[in-house]
Structure 1
Amino acid sequence: MYPFIRLAAQVMRARRLPDLPLDGVHVSHHVCLPWDLDPFMELNNGRTLTLYDLGRIPLAHRVGLITMLRDNRWGLTMAGACVRYRRRVRLFERIEMRSRALCWDGRFVYLEQSMWRRDGQCAGHILYRAAVTDQDGIVGTDRVLAALGQAGATRPIPDWVAKWIAAEDARPWPPMQD
């Protein structure tokens, strides 16, 4: 089941924090609970993606995105992700999550999130490609930035992100059905 109560708690905490600039970093703290585990008694890879929601949604609130989406009757969707799992997270282990909007192009905002163990090691890292949508499809980031009061804001796309974008563009869609 989706962790709605944990999400609500994270959003309520975020509401008490100051607003962030569009490229600000939201830091949140989480605990690996029994229902987050896989058969190897570590954080399940699928649940890891759900826990990233618990950092990303409060970030969206703090930068004003949630209010802007509601005001414009727009939606938000994840259009792709690239994940690295590097260190195990065990039962009741505490992690610090760092979430931020890394950069954007004409259609997508690229969000970066990482999980850090108490020993200072990075447990995982994810790059998301997010799109704002309306009834006609993807809303261009120029319109999104204008609605956020950030018209003309730019962020350079790091080389490693540009290479991932190029790889995604070269990936066949739909996939082969052999």
Structure 2
Amino acid sequence: MYPVMRMVKEMIKFRNASPLPVTGTHVSQHRCWPSDIDLWMELNNGRTLTLFDLGRIPLASRIGLVKVLREQKWSMTMAGASVRYRRRIRTFEKIEMRSRAACWDDRFVYLEQSMWKQNGECANHALYRAAVTDASGIVSPARVMEAMGQDTPSPDAPDWIKGWIAADADRPWPPMQE
């Protein structure tokens, strides 16, 4: 089940938070609840992806994107993800989530998110390819930035993001059926 009440809590909690620049980092605190765990009593890998919403949506609000999405009747969708899991998050453990736009190109925004344990260790790290869409398809990040009143150029994509973009472009689509 989607954590609707947790999302509502995050949106209320950050409704008056100071605006962030487009490339700013949204930091939030969370806890691994029993509804988040798997059979091994740790944060489920799929639930991790869902919990990252709790960072992305408030980030979008704080940079002014949610307002523009509503005004323009646009939507935001995820077009790809790569996640690296490195440390277990156990039931009731507190984590800090960090969310930011790393860079963008002519079609997509690349969002970086991570969860950090109280001892300072990074538990997991995700790279998302996000798109803003309208009835005609993908809205270019340049057009989105213009609607947001921003003229911020994309930061240079780090080599590891460039590598992921290139590798994903080589990936066959649709996948083979056996």
1:150 matched to 2:154? The reply is no
Gaps of 5+ in 1: none
Query: Cα distance, 1:141 vs. partner?
Result: 1.0
Separation (CA, whole Å) in 1 of partners of 2:143 and 2:102: 18
Whether the aligned pair in 1 keeps the contact of 2:107 and 2:139 (CA below 8 Å) is yes
Q: Secondary structure at the match of 1:50?
A: helix
Q: Give the counterpart letter for 2:77 in structure 1.
A: T
Deviations 1:103-162 (A, max 9, x none): 000000000000000011000000000000000000011101101111352211111100
Structure 1 runs (4+) greater than 4 angstroms displaced = none
Name the amino acid aligned to 2:9.
A
What is the RMSD computed on CA atoms of the aligned residues?
A: 0.7
Q: Across the two proteins, how many residue pairs are aligned to each other?
A: 178
**Runs of 5+ consecutive residues of structure 2 not aligned to the other structure:** none
AA aligned opposite 1:35: S
Letter in 1 for 2:145: L
Which one is further off, 39-48 or 150-159? Answer: 150-159
CA drift of 1:14 comes to 1.3
Closer/same/farther in 2, CA of residues 152 and 9 from structure 1, 3 Å limit: closer
Percent identity between matched residues is 61
1:61 partner letter? S
Task: Please say if residues 22 and 152 of structure 2, whose CA atoms lie closer than 8 Å, have aligned partners that are also in contact.
Answer: no
The normalised TM-score by structure 2 is 0.98
> Is the partner of 2:41 in helix, strand or coil?
coil
Provide the C-alpha distance between the structure 1 equivalents of 2:81 and 2:169, rounded to a whole number of angstroms: 13
> 1:75 matched to which residue of 2?
75
Residues 107 and 138, structure 2, Cα contact 8 Å, conserved in 1? yes
